[in-house]
Structure 1
Amino acid sequence: MRPLVILRPEPGAGKTAERAAELGLKARIIPLFVPRAVEWDAPAPDRFDALLLTSANAARLAGERLADYRTLPAYAVGRATANAMQEAGFAQVIAGDGDGTAIARRIAADGHGHVLHLAGRTVAPVDGGALRIDRIVVYEMLRTRDDRLAERLEPDSVLLVHSPRAGEVLAQLVGPRQRASLHLIAISPAALAACGSGWASAQTPDKPDDERMLALALRLCE
């Protein structure tokens, strides 16, 4: 069985590893980043029609001021982010099953015009169309200090890449010769493109979520 390597940060990495173990996969966690909360000024909730989060880390790290927005219609880019918002006290969250642009279109279709987007310092582009989106940074991802990733990867490993930024770092740390012995599963086409070329195999799920990534990994690892 091919080994599975999870490159995403905690706590998401642990949840991915738990699900992988349930599927019978042997997974290692080698996070490329560590999330850290940043100070932010919370605008008045009555300025907005809805709240959008595109990362579960935003729900976990926004702090106590996140509760100010529980009265707003709440949207999440996917189920994992929606679960984190519910854990933070949001009773009802509408979860998308695509990217940020897809959920932005859903928000606009629901009749909202002005949205507060709480996000990380680095975020995938969101095409809101006519939707007005005010983005506020509530957390950032810090690179881990260990640059020995290439030395720790066994040949024929399957790597899970959960963001374009992780793909960029992976491309910096793993050279062309070693890539030919490694397999990639990236959460989105953008994440896959950031990894560069030359991998033994490279694919994305039909929709960007952890379960679909692991379904691909199960077929590839066996």
Structure 2
Amino acid sequence: MGQGAPVWITRARPGAEATAAKVAALGFLPIVDPLLEIAPIAAPIELSGVTALAFTSVNGVRAFSALSEARDLPVFTVGRATAAAAGEAGFGRVADANGDVTDLANLILATRPACVLWAGAREPAGDLVGVLNGAGVAARGVAVYETVARAPSEATLALLAQPLTVLLHSPRAARQLADIASRRPVRALRALCLSPAVAAGLPPLESPSSVACAPRPDETALLALLTA
């Protein structure tokens, strides 16, 4: 893919803008037109007995922080971006798994806090709470946001008729793209996915389209695929 080529960024705002800046810095043309948007959930936050918090996304940190002023509990996060968001929100003790939900579970199990509260999406990609409970660490979850489908513009959809790279950060976005591809001709789509779980949401793409997955589930690795 040549420098200056368009790259469709499908992740929800506000993260989409941060990704766009990185894509532009690499010399490509970012097209910010999310397939999803974040809707906060006004959930009650019950911290009785909780000794640690867990977050699997930046959106989880932001939504929880808007609902609770508690910042004194230790925090476990799935990756560096989530850890940075927790620090920016005012949490002082943040441990970062720098991986996926399995890595986060292993990090928590290594210290075995008495009770973990996970705050995240209504439809999470993984079952952190179930894994922790199954391993003997008390955990419960609260949904503090949900992702809802968003229709991209006709201008963006028209780009599918030409060679186009698309960044996919979640299985839900991949499924949205698959639905679009089932209804519109796609000429040569290069789908770059944050993880194999994300790629699983896509159907087999007709040649010369292709699907590639980041070697580890973080955005730095994902964006490295642009120049691979």
TM-score normalised by the chain length of structure 2: 0.87
Is the 1:147–1:173 Cα contact (8 Å) retained in structure 2? no
In the alignment, which residue of structure 2 is the partner of 1:30? 33
Does residue 162 (structure 1) correspond to residue 169 (structure 2)? The answer is: yes
Report the Cα distance in structure 1 between the residues aligned to 2:46 and 2:199, rounded to whole angstroms. 35
In 2: Cα distance, 1:194 partner to 1:20 partner: 23
Distance in 2 between the 1:72 and 1:196 partners?
42
Match of 1:47, SS? coil
Work out which of the residue numbers 140, 146, 149 in structure 1 matches 2:146.
140
Alpha-carbon separation, structure 1, partners of 2:8 and 2:174 = 14
Per mean C-alpha deviation after superposition, the further-off stretch among 192-201 and 5-14 is: 192-201
Q: 39, 59, 73: which is aligned to 1:57? A: 59
Using the TM superposition, give the Cα deviation of residue 180 of structure 1 relative to its aligned residue in structure 2, in angstroms: 5.5
In structure 1, distance between residues paired with 2:65 and 2:74: 19
Per-residue CA shift, 1:30-85, capped at 9, x if unaligned? 101111211111112x41231001110112222444332x2221011111111111
CA contact (8 A) 1:150 1:174 kept: no
Q: 1:86 to 1:9 in 2, by over 3 A?
A: same
Identical amino acids, percent of aligned pairs: 32
Matched, 1:182 2:185: no
User: What is the aligned partner in structure 2 of residue 78 from structure 1?
Assistant: 79
Take 1:145 and 1:5, find their aligned partners in 2: how far apart are those partners?
14
Question: CA separation in 2, counterparts of 1:22 and 1:121?
Answer: 34
Q: Identify the range of structure 1 (88-97 vs 121-130) with the bigger mean alpha-carbon deviation.
A: 121-130
Paired residue for 1:110? 111
1:88-99 residue pairs with structure 2 within 5 A?
88-99=89-100
1:217 — aligned with what?
A: 226
Q: What is the number of equivalent residue pairs in this alignment?
A: 217
Q: CA RMSD in A?
A: 2.0
Runs (5+) with no aligned partner, structure 1: none
Shift of 1:196: 1.6
Query: Is contact 2:161–2:186 with CA below 8 Å preserved after alignment?
Result: no
Q: Distance in 2 between matches of 1:176 and 1:198?
A: 13
Answer yes or no: is 1:12 the counterpart of 2:15: yes
2-side partners of 1:144 and 1:86: how far apart?
Answer: 30
**Cα drift, residue 147 of structure 1:** 7.2
Q: Report the CA distance shift for 1:95/1:178 in structure 2 as closer, same or farther (over 3 A).
A: farther
Task: Answer yes or no: is the 8 Å Cα contact 1:37–1:62 preserved in 2.
Answer: no
**Structure 2, unaligned runs of 5 or more:** none
**Aligned counterpart for 2:43 among listed residues 27, 36, 40:** 40
Contact 2:168 2:191 (8 Å CA) reproduced: yes
Write the distance in 2 (CA, Å) between the matches of 1:179 and 1:50: 46
